[in-house]
């Protein structure tokens, strides 16, 4: 199934696209291994330098913030916990809601699906003040629970799980019923294993979503112990302008590169599941 005449053109466009995406990351990494003086004088780097361990060590261990108490490592841990919690709960809750919507044929299933769908229109940014009020009334500011809980419902994930469940043939459920499976067993023994790929993909999306949250942790946390990576990013890019020393550009890039690692980790761990699923559904 090839459209030959277009192939060469496509290749060129795609290779350009790849460069466009990969080069900035490489530049950032290369620059993060140089010392601040050479970056200041010579600009971004393409080749590796020699300050790798110094820059990365400083970023990870130097204490910062207004109280000079929080390290970047701490922020990575916070972001990781938050993203992990959000992603896990989002996936679990969405999979179960979708199950209820597809397999329990009560009269309200369609209106309820629409209501869930409509909540897409009210992202966290819009409902951020009411959410803050509730969470603070519950005494959850400056806790991981408070960071995670208001973000665990996902209309998007529910929608995609629903569409996926609908492609599973009815006979599978019927056969499972005759084999003595109740509704809970059907979910555990059939839907979850069959939707492995979907689960992995959703987990990755939601992890990145949680990881890149900015506004919510900003509002939720007053204690620097709960600061996250993205918040830290703003800080390292602003606080240094106030100093008299050189802008610490090398450390900044080191911070950016480090901030990419947790999501990469998640993909590496989940990719086996994911690739397996992709190959099985391959045409």
Partner 1 sequence: MSFLELQNITKIYPNGTKAVNETSLNIENGEFVVFVGPSGCGKSTLLRMIAGLEDITNGEISLDGNVINNIDPSERDVAMVFQNYALYPHMSVFNNMAYGLKNRGISKEEINNKVNDVAKLLEIDQLLTRKPSMLSGGQRQRVAMGRAIVRNPKIFLFDEPLSNLDAKLRNQMRLEIKRLQRQMGVTSIFVTHDQTEAMTLGDRIVVINNGVVEQVGTPKEIYSKPNTKFVAEFIGSPQMNLFNCKIENGIAHIADIKINLNNSKNIEDASLGIRPDDILISDNGQHTCEANLVEYLGSDMIIYSKIGDQEFSCKLSSKINLNAGDTFKFDISSTLVHLFDNTNGSRV
Three-class SS of 61-114: HCEECCCCCEEHHHHHHHHHHHHHHHHHHHHHHHHHHHHHHHHCCCCCHHHHHH
283 binds partner 1 (CB under 8 A): no
259 binds its own copies (CB under 8 A): yes
Residue with tokens 């946390």: 221
- Beta strands, E only, the chain: 63-64, 70-71
Contact 273, 197 (CB under 8 A): yes
**Subset of residues 41 to 70 that bind its own copies, contact rule: CB under 8 A:** none
- CB of 191 vs partner 1, minimal distance in Å: 10
245 binds, among partner 1, its own copies, none (CB under 5 to 8 A by kind): none
Q: Give the contacts of 181 (CB within 8 A, at least 6 positions apart).
A: 189, 190
48 binds, among its own copies, partner 1, none (CB under 5 to 8 A by kind): none
**Subset of residues 192 to 221 that bind partner 1, contact rule: CB under 8 A:** 193-194
Q: Taking CB under 8 A as the rule, which mask of x and - marks residues 137-166 in contact with its own copies?
A: -------------------x--xx--x--x
179 binds, among its own copies, partner 1, none (CB under 5 to 8 A by kind): partner 1
171 binds, among its own copies, partner 1, none (CB under 5 to 8 A by kind): partner 1
Sign of the torsion angle spanned by Cα atoms 184, 95, 86, 202: positive
Distance CA 240, CA 281 (A): 50
- CB of 192 vs partner 1, minimal distance in Å: 10
Contacts with partner 1 by CB under 8 A: the residue count is 18
272 binds partner 1 (CB under 8 A): no
Distance CA 191, CA 198 (A): 11
- CB of 260 vs partner 1, minimal distance in Å: 33
- CB of 224 vs its own copies, minimal distance in Å: 20
Q: Work out the number of other CB atoms within 10 angstroms of the CB of residue 149.
A: 18
122 binds its own copies (CB under 8 A): yes
169 binds partner 1 (CB under 8 A): yes
Distance CA 191, CA 176 (A): 11
Distance CA 62, CA 254 (A): 13
Residues that bind partner 1 (CB under 8 A): 169, 171-172, 174-182, 185, 189-190, 193-194, 280
């Amino acid at each position: 199934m090839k459209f030959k005449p277009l192939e060469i053109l496509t290749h060129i466009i795609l290779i350009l696209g790849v460069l466009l995406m990969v080069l900035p990351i490489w530049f950032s990494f290369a620059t993060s291994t140089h010392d601040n003086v050479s970056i200041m004088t010579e600009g971004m780097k393409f080749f590796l330098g020699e300050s790798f361990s110094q820059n990365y060590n400083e970023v990870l261990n130097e204490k910062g913030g207004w109280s000079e108490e929080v390290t970047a490592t701490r922020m990575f841990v916070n972001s990781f916990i938050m993203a992990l919690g959000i992603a896990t709960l989002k996936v679990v809750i969405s999979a179960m809601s979708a199950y209820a919507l597809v397999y329990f044929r009560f009269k309200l299933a369609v209106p309820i699906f629409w209501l869930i769908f409509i909540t897409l229109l009210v992202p966290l940014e819009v409902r951020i003040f009411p959410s803050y009020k509730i969470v603070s009334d519950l005494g959850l500011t400056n806790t991981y629970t408070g960071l995670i809980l208001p973000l665990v419902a996902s209309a998007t994930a529910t929608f995609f799980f629903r569409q996926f469940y609908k492609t599973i043939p009815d006979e599978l459920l019927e056969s499972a019923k005759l084999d003595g499976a109740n509704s809970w067993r059907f979910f555990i023994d059939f839907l979850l294993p069959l939707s492995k790929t979907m689960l992995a993909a959703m987990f990755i999306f939601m992890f990145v979503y949680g990881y890149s949250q900015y506004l919510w942790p900003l509002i939720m946390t007053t204690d620097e112990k709960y600061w996250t990576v993205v918040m830290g990013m703003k800080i390292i890019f602003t606080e240094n302008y106030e100093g008299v020393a050189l802008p610490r550009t090398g450390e900044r890039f080191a911070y950016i590169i480090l901030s990419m690692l947790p999501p990469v980790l998640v993909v590496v761990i989940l990719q086996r599941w994911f690739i397996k699923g992709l190959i099985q559904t391959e045409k």
